[in-house]
Amino acid sequence: MLRLYLAGLAILCACLTANAQEAGLQPILGQHREIIAESSRKTIKPAIDAIASSGLPQAQVMLETWAAKDVWMRKSDGLFFAGKKAGGRSYELTDFDTGEVVGTFEKSDLKQLKPNSGIRAMIGTALVQFQLTDPDRARRQAALQSIQRDPEGALLGPLRASIDDEPDADLKAQKQRLERLLTIGHDTDVGARVAAIAEMSDDLGVDVRAALNPLVVTKRQAAVTLPSDKNIAAVLQPDSEDLPRDVAYDLLVASDLAAPRVSADDNRAALAANIDRGRVGGVPVAQLGSAAARAQAYEALAEAGAVPALITQTDIDAALAAHVFFDTYAEPSPDVTAAAAHALERIELKVGLNQTLDLTLDAISLASIYFLAAIGLAITFGVMGVINMAHGEFIMMGAYTGYVVQQFIPDHTLSIIVAIPMAFAVTFAMGVAMERLVIRWLYSRPLETLLATFGISIALQQLAKNTFGTQARPLTAPGWLDGAWVLNDVVSISYIRIAIFVLAMIFLGLFLYIMKRTRLGLEMRAVTQNPRMAGSMGINPGRVNMLTFGLGSGIAGIAGVAIGLFAKVTSDLGSDYIVQSFMTVVVGGVGNIWGALAGAGMIGFLQKGIEWMTPSNTLAAQTYMIIFIIIFIQFRPRGIIALKGRAAGD
């Protein structure tokens, strides 16, 4: 009898499985009809899981249709179909299993499934396993990205299964990496996780740290005795630096292990609530303006039982002594947490080294910007000794020249190539005009040169404002300068900064060539050292001064184009750089191009270094830098590279 029964059961089972295979998705959907129709995020999970794990090829189509809100339920028999509008208020239904059109039905006979965004996200996760093996490469890539965004333990299995069959080498590598990361967080086998952690502990990727960090997250807890079933990171001593008294006590209060303290506000409110004929606890209200009187009144109230008793320091001490405080890992396995902490330590060290490298690159790039801004000044101030407060405005004019050229030449590469000589020409002409009209009358009055050029500076700034308006104008860099040179997740530098560095080096070379190898440079040096002697040797000092000043101004114009590429072009662009430029020249040492280079390097590195130490506060960084420079000048008043002997003048 029993045998017969078992046989019958077996046949029934076989029938059922066969039925499932043959009948396809519809019975599974039928089983979960109620929760599917209900369409609630809280209850839908078993239905989606059943569909996804059915192993049927049409499951993917069904899930996609569902997510697209195109699944309809026929009210007459409760079956689900893919619906398509057939015109009017009728829909054409297609069976998922057979792919055949079942017929056209009125909307009133049907019910549309409208999954909300939460359910669609769950469907999306379920779909990932299909997409991982999808023949379309782009969809596989999208599936990987979806896992990266939202790593989930359930995906580990499908992901592993899909690695071996992956034809694309690049995707395969990505899959393998992702599999390691998922293993770290979600594998059930501790040994596998520790192995994966060890394997990834040389990786600088942000995703590795994102996978490791949750493992070492700790939670501070208090208890009467230390629990033995938890993964404890550390036991803390109350009233120490890690755990101040107040924090420890608040922790006890938060875990319902101690009575809360009465705050000053509560105290006050309690007193106010218990005023009795102008007195509180026997103390007249008018006297409650002092802490001692309030304490006395409160104590009286507490004795009378009207308010909870005050928690005294002794109470706190007793409570703290009666409990233990500890940090626990959310992760239960100590092996995993130890491995993760160790791996993070190694990664932090490497990240630190790379950050130093990144900071150095940043500093070099900042230094080259300062050098570019200051090199023109190194000529006019350093060589000629003329303070040109309008130097910043020459930088601004160069940037605006670049902007104007771009209005006429839309091609960005070509426009920059045209803009550089144009900017030089404009500011050169401006510089020559300024030297002829103003500065040459003031060579023996340096302080007044400062003031006169300041007058020119405010006039030029306002002129630019009147011409171009107050809003920032864009000077767009050519496309090939977009983007950054990425070494790894930590170290990267934008191409535009590399270009500025190259430009700064070109100018250094150009300056050296002009000063040391050309006739003009020779005459310049002669006039600087002794204008009368130079004059008697047949050099026209006026002409040389004019050309020198023009050269310095022209270089400022080119610097303006370079600076305009990464900063917004406004009329006060120049004044942002003028103080820094003077600093660069003064710190470096006047009259020496190497000094300007050293000054720019020092200021650039210093600023980046201070910014690194006070990361959230660039204003403070600038303040400290200027203070440092003021102090630095105490010790080397003539700059880093000081001229010696007769060349030093006075």
Backbone phi and psi for residue 422, each to the nearest 5 degrees, phi listed first: -60, -45
Between 213 and 462, name the residue whose CB sits nearer to other proteins.
462
Q: Are 414 and 598 a contacting pair, CB within 8 Å?
A: no
Nearer to other proteins, 353 or 459 (CB): 459
Residue (187 or 393) nearer to other proteins, CB: 393
Q: What is the smallest separation between the CB atom of 274 and other proteins, expressed in angstroms?
A: 10
Residue 554 CB, nearest approach to other proteins (Å): 21
Closest CB to other proteins among 277 and 519? Answer: 277
- What gap in Å lies between CA 474 and CA 364, rounded to an integer? 25
Question: Quick one: 310 or 520, whose CB is closer to other proteins?
Answer: 310
**Which residues, at least 6 apart from 567, have a Cβ–Cβ distance to it below 8 Å?**
573, 576
Task: Name the residue nearer to other proteins (CB basis): 293 or 319.
Answer: 293
State how far the Cα of 13 lies from the Cα of 130, in Å rounded to an integer: 28
Tell me whether residue 101 or residue 438 sits nearer to other proteins (CB atom).
438
Q: Nearest distance from residue 635's CB to other proteins, in Å?
A: 8
Taking the least distance from each CB to other proteins, the nearer of 45 and 465 is: 465
Range list of β-strands (E), 247-310: 279-280, 283-284
Instruction: Pick between residue 160 and residue 638 the one whose CB is nearest to other proteins.
Output: 638
Contact 355, 613 (CB under 8 A): no
| Interaction site with other proteins (CB under 8 A) | 264, 268, 271-272, 275, 280, 285-291, 294, 387, 389, 438, 441-442, 444-448, 450-452, 454-463, 465-466, 575, 579, 582-583, 586, 617, 619-620, 622-623, 626-627, 629-631, 633-635, 637
CB of 249 to other proteins, least distance (A): 21
Q: Are 403 and 471 in contact (CB under 8 A)?
A: no
Q: Rounded to the nearest whole angstrom, what is the least distance from the CB of residue 465 to other proteins in the complex? A: 7
- Rounded to a whole number of angstroms, the minimum distance from the CB of residue 441 to other proteins is 6
Give min distance, CB of 402 to other proteins, in A.
23
| Residue 493 bridge partners (DSSP) | 485
What is the distance between the alpha carbons of residues 281 and 298, in angstroms, rounded to a whole number? 7
Q: How far is CA 508 from CA 146, 396, 400, 592, in A?
A: 50, 21, 24, 11
Smallest distance, Å, CB 263 to other proteins?
13
Q: Closer to other proteins at the Cβ: 387 or 558?
A: 387
Q: Among the residues of 378-475, which ranges form H helices?
A: 391-408, 412-437, 446-468
83 or 604: CB nearest other proteins: 604
**CB of 608: closest distance to other proteins in angstroms?**
17
**How is residue 123 written in tokens?**
């469907």
Q: Which of 646, 557, 559, 636 is nearest to 595 (CA)?
A: 636
**What is the full DSSP assignment across 582-637?**
HHHHHHH-TT-HHHHHHHHHHHHHHHHHHHHHSTT-HHHHHHHHHHHHHHHHHH-T
Smallest gap, in angstroms, from Cβ of residue 275 to other proteins?
6
Q: Which residues contact 203 (CB under 8 A, 6 or more apart)?
A: 347
SS3 at position 547: helix
Of the candidates 425, 359, 423, the residue with the CA atom closest to the CA atom of residue 562: 423
Sequence length of the chain is 650
* 552: helix, strand or coil: helix
CA 261 to chain centre: 41
User: Are the C-beta atoms of 66 and 123 separated by less than 8 Å?
Assistant: yes
Place of tokens 């570019």: 372
Smallest distance, other proteins to C-beta of residue 537, A = 18
The distance of closest approach from Cβ of residue 599 to other proteins in the complex, given in angstroms and rounded to an integer, is 13
Q: How far is Cα 497 from Cα 500, in angstroms, rounded to an integer? A: 5
Residue 326 burial (CB count, 10 A)? 18
CB of 169 or CB of 447, closer to other proteins: 447
Q: How far is the CB of 453 from other proteins (least distance, A)?
A: 8
Least distance (Å) between residue 445 CB and other proteins:
6
Which one, 271 or 547, has the nearer CB to other proteins?
271
Q: Is 278 left (phi over 0), alpha (psi -120 to 50) or beta?
A: left
> Rounded to 5 degrees, what angle do the CA atoms 105, 111, 117 make?
135
CA distance 464 to 459: 9
- DSSP three-state, residue 276: strand
The minimum distance between CB 629 and other proteins, in angstroms, equals 7
What's the CA gap between 331 and 265, in Å, rounded?
40
Q: How many CA atoms within 13 Å lie on the side-chain side of 338? A: 7
Angle at 237 between CA 236 and CA 241, to 5 degrees: 95
Q: Rounded distance, CA 25 to CA 153, Å? A: 26
- Cβ proximity to other proteins: between 445 and 516 the closer is 445
Smaller CB distance to other proteins: residue 459 or 512?
459
Cα separation, 199 vs 183, in Å, equals 11
Q: Nearer Cβ to other proteins, position 83 or 589?
A: 589
Task: Supply the minimum distance, in Å, between the C-beta of residue 454 and other proteins.
Answer: 6
